[in-house]
Structure 1
Amino acid sequence: MTCSSARHPGFFGLKRQFLLWIGVIYLITGLGALVLFAWVLHGVTRQLGEDFAIQYVLRQKDRLLGPIQRELALARKLADSPLLKHWARDESDPVLRAAALAELDSYRRYFADRSYFIALDASKHFYFNDATDAYRSREQGHTLDPDLPSDSWYFASIAGTADFNLNVNYDTSLDIYKLWFNVIIRNGEEKLGVGGTGLELDRFIQTALSEDRQGVNTILLDQDGAIKAHRNRAYIDFNTVAKGQAERNTLYRLLASPEERTLLSERLEQLRYNQLPVTVLRLTVEGQPYLAAIAYLTEIDWFVVALVDTAHVYSVWQFTPFAILLAFSLLALAVAITLLLNRWVLNPLARLHHSTQAVAAGDYRQLAIVDNHNEIGALTSAFNAMTLTVRQHTEQLEHRVEERTRELQQAHQALATTHRQVLDSIEYAQLIQQAMLPTPEVLKQALEDYFLIWNPRDLVGGDFYYCRIDERGGLLAVIDCTGHGVPGAFMTMAVNAVLNHVTSALCADDPARILREVNRLLRATLNQNDRGEAFENGLDVGICYRFWSKQELCFAGAQFNLFCQDAGETPLMMIAGDSHSLGYRRSDPDWTFRNHWIEAPP
């Protein structure tokens, strides 16, 4: 039976129909989403930026205050130490000096930067040690000079009225940039010096501004608007405490207009006097418009400023209407696709699936109905053609399997017959090999009292024992021939024949001579003297001869040893045979074997 070839779907193909309808749905929903998005975005952008800026600056405030407050509190505790105050009055006392330096080192271990400094007003000596303890035993660095600009911070701090100040400065003697916590050491109204710690500037800026994201820039200002922390070090105002207002790098200098400077100054004053918790205003900084959120750090009299570029910061939650529209659009698209799939794909595939199940069950007569001229219809036609092909091949295969099964059965029967014939031959050979072994009566006559262990691995093999009795005595031999199974059995037949010839024609009471003659005759029998392609076949053997007339036993061995023990408690004794095998090509035909005489029990 044949089937017509599948028709090409052409213009009405399933793929084109899907793309057309999906395109129409996306155009409709996309246009509606675009209109709604533009309407929502116009009213949301400003509020979104303000909300984000306020939350961001408050989070920065909380994050910065903790570490700074901790360092400041510890620095103020250091400045309030009675021991340090006592030492400041009597700096030359070595006992006080050692105790004071030990206490300073104790504070150093708890400062975040693991560093401290102290400057004593009486001598103007400056003491310092850092996290690496590099200045131990040389903490006194230099003497402060009011004429040096690098030391102006100290004299400005002593001259001021504040109990402390936070000063960003570069210390030329130490060659470091730090945010210094300068705390006045007082004894009542008397100022004894300045002490505290410092935070490495780059690390402090990295920590303070680590949460900055794209479109957001965090700046720290002091009470006068001087920039204390900025990602660009060029904007930072160093040694502010020793500068006049006109010399400082302030945020005011970066603003575009006097109106913005005035507005910023007013808002900072309002924050400083608790009139506002946080303020938001629009500023143009270096020509770039920003939404600025400012919060006041009361404890250190600083301000944290977050400059937000609203073009880069949006909140996803503000676009809920758009998300809802998108969800409904996707739902409508899913419904439309489901309906189309059900009509053009699912129903035809269900019928095709029914036919495939019938074919899977072995019924190749059921063919699917082709009622659409699209990809599914082409697939159905191809399936019908495949079903017919499979049916034809299945019938041919079943016929071949039947023929092959008959051939295998015949081969199996022939193999079984051959196996039975071979096994019968081997079993018969076993009977022949066992027939040449001495009977128990012969062994009893030769040895009187004996036991025998003989357990061949195969039906026939290369191991056997030999016994012969004459008027002078009895001979016993144990032989291990080359090979197992049938080859070994053939060797035993040859060796048995040679032994019979030697013991009957030459001698039976000289084991050493018997070994020599067996070696010579077996090499000749197996053509081991020929230098052609001869096989290495031979044997190992041990021979004993017991004399009737005297209580002696004669033993000779070729790679065999004799173990013997007298009656009683005497130890087991081993008599070694010659280390020379018989019958092999490598065996020396002129080898002289040795006889060993043993006293036999009566």
Structure 2
Amino acid sequence: MAHRWGLRGQSTLTLLMACLLALIPALLIGWQALDDVRHHFATRYAEQYTLLHMQRILAPVSRELALSRRFADSVVTREWLTAPDDAEKRDRFFREAEGFRDQFSGDAYFVIDHASGDYYYNGDDAEPSRGARYRLTTDDPQDAWYFDTMDSAASYNINVNVDAKLELAKVWFNVKVTEDGRPLGLAGGGLDLSRFLDDFLRDDTPGLTPMIVDPRGAIQAHPDRRRVALSSGAREALAGDAPRLQAMLDDAAQRARLGDAMLEARRRPGEVETLEVSLEGQPRLLAVGYIPELQWLLVSTLDLESAPVLDGRWLWPLVGGLALILAVLMAGAAYGIDHFILGPLRRLQLSARAIADGDYASRLPTDRGDEIGELSRAFAHMARQVERHTQELEDKVRHRTRALEATNAEMAAARRQIDASLEYASIIQRAILPSRQLQAHLADHHAVLWRPRDQVGGDFYVFRATEAGYLMGVIDCAGHGVPGSLMTMLARAIIDHAILKVGADDPAAILNETDRQNRETLHRESLPASIATNMDVGLVWVAHGAERLTFAGAKMSLYASDGERLEVQPGGKRALGQKRAMTYENHAVPLHRGWTYSLCSDGFLDQAGGEHGFGFGNSRFEAMLRRHATAPLPEQIAAFEAELDAYRGDHPQRDDITLLCFRFDAAPQARGPSVDAAAST
């Protein structure tokens, strides 16, 4: 029969037999299944309702919380709370606060000065005010929420409260404002409580009541405002008389089950826990979901009697009958399909696994005359084709592998030659740096951070000691890597020749002469436009016993700081070798005893890092110089390098970096014999 009927006939005959057998028990099973379906639908209904309201609440409340945290973390807010009597900072704060006020959904913000206890509030009910509304004190019980919040370990909380002094009922977003671990106050915004309840909790769906509770069970929001536990968000221990969800349950066993459900919901955010309880004497189905971003639990109570889960007018005769008939039909069909179809297919599956393991010997039922037999014969043919193609591919892979191994060996040899050449070039480049001369003449009065981006780089520094004083400087040639290193060798030769020609005591003359020789040596008109030959240079001349130093720079500044003040002497606006030439001038700068003087290439300032990948920047660099100016020079360099690496994070080094620092605690005096032009090498 299997050969005459085929798979389709066999399936039809099996399904017909199953229908005949299922007619009698169908009615009996249906009545029992309907109750289970109703309970299942009610549970899913409560879960989906809870998940939907969690999302409706999360988006706007998360936005207000994020906006409140930005408001509290604003540099302007912290600066004003650090110095609340500073009129300029106060004016800047209130102007920025009005911008935040326009973004808050509640059109309101508040800020509290921790030092004075002054409470500032501006809402949509009055003209903006810059005066404190009132002052919080530890003696006033209504102000306890603030001091509890500041004493807590959390950086923020969301608190439902009625401010009796302002006569406002809001959902407050309280965010701490700190500076280096020191509390400065509290800031944030607020959503109108009535509007919050209308938008998210008051629902006309019959039989369903949503509410928001905190992890301790305190009711944060409820369609009935009398059930809200006001100010509970700031308490360490919930008062006994505050409304709690546990108090609405009838016995201790149900309260324990509720506690387990709340704990499980917190462990698995995004999922909903359900349980059946007696709530104030009425049977209810509770659905509990956790919103980790807000540390709130959304609890939906479902009255199975009044909720429109199933409509008995049509559901009993239609859904019950269809579901049971479908179940019986599927059971009968499953038996027939398993016996007539799935059994042979399982044998086909075993053969396919054998072929996957490399065994191509066909063990398929090719003698059948139905569709299974046809499929088996086609599969056997495919197995033979796969075996043939596999052997051909293996031969090709072996040939290609040998070719790739040979190519890889050639590339490895070439790479070793390149690495050896770069290492040799790096040794030569380091040899031209005047580190020994600096140590011999300045000793502890100098420190250098020299860090090329690649094995060789385009930055170097110079030092020249004469009987009259010292010349030192930093040179940043265009480019980095091998091109930059070639530029350093050329630039070093040009600068040495310029010093021999004009002397070491005139930095501006050295720059002008170097610029002239650079233009004569490198003819820009014969070079492609993409090739840069310019140099940023900063040179300092310090005469023995002098009270002033002479500085000249080309797109490089001289920084001086004593830890309290920072003085910046900018250099010329154009680099050496730029298309438009300029004449560089000397600048006489006071030589303060104990001050740290620094020259730095732009690789430090341009280094990308931080959260958004921005450059290190002048303001951050100058603050770093001021912060470490009084430390010993080697410690300063170590601190600078550590701050740069911390800011850079995972970003690669963008350019070569050179930083030269020097400091004189007494008037500079000559040390050792005078050094001629060759000493700098």
Specify the TM-score bucket, using the shorter chain as the normaliser.
Answer: 0.3 to 0.5
Report which of the two structures shows the higher radius of gyration computed on alpha carbons.
1
TM-score of the aligned structures, taking structure 1 as reference length:
0.46
